Amino acid sequence: MIPTEFDQIDADWMTTAVAIPSGIVQSLSWERIAEGVGLLGRLARFELTWSTDLPNQPDSVIVKLPSQIPEMVEQAMMFGFYDREINFYRHIGDSASVRVPHIYSVQADEAVVPFVLVMEDLRDARVVDQLRGCDLEDSLKVAKAAARLHAPNWGKQGELDALTWLPAVDGPLYSAAIPMLADLAALFLSNWSDRLPQESVELAKQASEALAEVQRLSTGGPLTMCHYDLRLDNLLFNDAEDDVCVIDFQLMGTQRGPFDLAYFTGWSLTPEQRREQTPAILDAYVAELGVLGVEADRGWVDQAYRESMLGVVAMAVMSGATAVVENERGEQLIAAFVERSLTAAHEANAGEFLS
């Protein structure tokens, strides 16, 4: 049985899901967490009491279910968002080149939904409020983590193609979405034009009318496996190990590595933080790639970063036009995405690449 609600999960089900040899969950309790953080899924922390004291028995786990919002589930199914995360944990998971939560169980219907993920609870990690942004020290940790994610598949097209569940930036999924995204631009502009500076409105319109060119720019250089949703709400900081754990792999795809950095700085940092930190973030990224055996030209990284801001704008336009949120924080996140990313793209003069 694949649960569709958290209250359908009992001790017997959890015993099977966590699968500790000879371990039996005697009782459990749960609470919702991170409400308003994820737009496509729901999270709950389950506290576990075991009948015996055995090694490796977690005191708590995190359970992830799909969104309860029909419009968001429809969007996730259309673009294969749930399928990507399920396949990432099934086929890469603990072998990933960055720290990710250990997954105890992945269960999914043949039609993908319903699904459930039972994963390690990193409750001791430090969480940073995405709406407030972060300091340079944390941003540099993110840049290095991004490099570790990108380095293994950097420019290895054959290996990327073998990951059939990972959509290509210039593949049929995104190509087919271009007309739909262009149509959404009118809805976005009708909802947001009065809330944005004129230069942001013009850039949103310009990018939305040139999505095929934005897609073409995204293939200018080596591709790799990108997170596509690298933002503070999807990052857990382990200060003791000076490391970052990355979560939420629903939007993954092939892209140029600097896209993840453009997405991170364009949404997770305030404009002031982004202006101050971007050069150091790109420097740290290139340096970490070098340590990992990838020689990336710093000038190319800078241009790819600026060009990638157009792709971030396209995602912000889509979110601003279609996202259905559960609470006030969700609304604040979407507003930050739209306002910050358009400002970042304007200040990077990304529109010049479309002229």
Q: Which residues, including other chains, have CB under 8 Å from residue 273's CB and lie 6 or more apart?
A: 133, 134, 135, 139
| pLDDT band of 181, cuts 50, 70, 90 | confident
Say what the pTM is. Answer: 0.94
Q: What is the DSSP string of 26-68?
A: EEEEEEEESTTT-SSEEEEEEEEEESS--TT--SEEEEEEE-S
Q: 3-class DSSP state for residue 252?
A: coil
Q: Which residues, including other chains, have CB under 8 Å from residue 177's CB and lie 6 or more apart?
A: 79
**Residue-wise pLDDT tens digits, 233-267:** 999 999 988 899 999 999 999 999 999 999 999 99
What is the structure's pLDDT at 337?
Answer: 97
Cα dist from 252 to 21, 82, 183, 220, whole Å: 33, 10, 24, 19
Q: 3-class DSSP state for residue 166?
A: coil
CATH class for the region spanning 6-120: alpha beta
Q: Do domains 6-120 and 136-354 have the same CATH topology?
A: no
User: Does 196 have pLDDT greater than 70?
Assistant: yes
**Residue-wise pLDDT tens digits, 9-65:** 999 999 999 999 889 999 999 999 977 655 688 999 999 999 998 888 999 999 999
User: Does 134 have pLDDT greater than 80?
Assistant: yes
What is the structure's pLDDT at 256?
Answer: 98
**Residue-wise pLDDT tens digits, 203-233:** 999 999 999 999 999 999 999 999 999 999 9
| pLDDT band of 97, cuts 50, 70, 90 | very high
**Residue-wise pLDDT tens digits, 275-289:** 999 999 999 999 999
CB 235 within 8 A of CB 117: no
What is the structure's pLDDT at 37?
Answer: 56
CB 259 within 8 A of CB 310: no
Distance CA 193, CA 204 (A): 10
**Residue-wise pLDDT tens digits, 154-166:** 999 999 999 999 9
Tokens read off for 230: 């690298």
What CATH number was assigned to the domain covering residues 136-354? 3.90.1200
Q: What is the mean pLDDT of the chain?
A: 94
What is the structure's pLDDT at 241?
Answer: 87
Beta strands (DSSP E) in the chain are 25-33, 41-50, 60-66, 103-109, 112-120, 224-226, 235-238, 243-246, 253-255
CB 310 within 8 A of CB 353: yes
What is the structure's pLDDT at 220?
Answer: 95
Q: So where are the chain's domains?
A: 6-120, 136-354
